Amino acid sequence: MMEFTAEMIAGFLGGQIVGDKEAKVHTVSSIEEGEPGALAYLTNLKYERHLYTTKASIVLVNKDFTPSAPVAATLVKVDDAAACVVKLLAMYQAAKPRKQGISPRASIAEGAVVGENCYVGDFAVIEAGAHIGDNCQIYPQTYVGDGVTVGAETILYPGVKVYEGCRIGDRCILHAGAVIGADGFGFMPNAEGGFDKIPQLGNVVIEDDVEIGANTCIDRAKTDSTVIRRGVKLDNLIQIGHNVQIGENTVSSAQTGIAGTSRVGRNCFLAGQVGIADHVTVGDRVMIGSKSGIDKNVPDGEVRLGYPALPGIQYHRSSAVFKNLPELARRVTRLENDLETLKNK
């Protein structure tokens, strides 16, 4: 187990120590749940009360913060506590032991290429023509299909399935149960009242530095490619349809669904349970609120909320009216009754 002293942490972050420079930590926790040996952090002052009761050994705070009561923990004061937490978490992650070696219970087809310093776990399957880059980690029960390319330093967690011909870039992370390259949902009505399957002959291309959450599905294209651009971050339980393209550094929360052939631009944010209809284009830097339904194109830089989605200010105005509808209905009824009374007179 790796241990770090307050002095080591302050040196790494360029911080100032208030308290015991020899205080040691081996884990990170929230300030509410802090226990001895834990590093906690105060990045939001509404949690300040926990600073005076936490059992954490070290707490990160901003340099301009002054406690209003005695603090038992050692403080490390830094310019930006929130940013430093991310740096420390990355340091802890890097300190964890890395899995190594190729399991004798893995199945690697003749003609598949596995790069240097890779880990391949039990019952992983790598088919013919697949190419795994250097320093990859292929966890147990992962399937890498024929002709798949996986870039260097990419991690495929247990149960990931990558169908034939798909391409995954460098430094990607695919969490457990993600399915890349299953057939797009394409069917044609036939004369008998049923549906004929439309062959899905394309693939999925995932560029560098993409992270894909657990049980997220990205369908292969009918022709050409479904494309996830560099730096995209997708949460768990997301469905991406065939021939969709998602632009660089776009982020989506869980349970979003994007129907076939739609386009989402760069640096967008999609909150949870967003639905985007087929053949819709969403511009760059667009923000879409949770549970919103997008059935029309959205220009660059816009905000959309609600179902059907409206521009932000229009949605808020409509919402203000909606919550007053019961009273408005009663007022209309009273006015109708008064008008009827006047007519009878």
CA–CA distance, 55 with 72 (Å, rounded to integer):
8
Residue 81 has what pLDDT?
A: 92
Summarised one tens digit per residue, pLDDT across range 82-132 is: 999 888 888 777 777 889 999 999 999 999 999 999 999 999 999 999 999
175 is catalytic: no
Active-site option among 131, 242, 279, 316: 242
Helices (H) and strands (E) in the chain, counts: 4, 40
CATH superfamily for domain 101-315: Hexapeptide repeat proteins (2.160.10.10)
What is the domain partition of the chain in residue ranges?
4-95, 101-315, 319-345
Residue 1's pLDDT is: 55
Nearest to 244 by CA among 206, 293, 208, 187: 206
Query: Which of 232, 233, 239, 281 minimizes the C-alpha distance to 256?
Result: 239
4-95 maps to CATH 3.40.1390.10:
yes
Residue segments in the chain with a per-residue pLDDT below the cut of 50: none
Contacts 24+ apart (CB under 8 A), 219-227: 219/181, 219/182, 219/183, 219/184, 219/185, 219/244, 219/260, 220/163, 220/165, 220/166, 220/181, 220/182, 220/183, 220/184, 221/184, 222/184, 222/186, 222/198, 222/260, 226/184, 226/202
pLDDT in tens, 168-192: 999 999 999 999 999 999 999 999 9
Q: What is the pLDDT of residue 269?
A: 98
Asked whether 305 and 320 are in contact (CB, 8 A), the reply is no
Q: What is the pLDDT of residue 119?
A: 98
pLDDT value, residue 95: 75
Residue 69's CB: how many other CB atoms inside 10 A? 9
> Distances in Å between the alpha carbon of 222 and those of 13, 157, 186, 198, 262?
49, 27, 8, 8, 13
In this prediction, residue 169 carries a pLDDT of 98
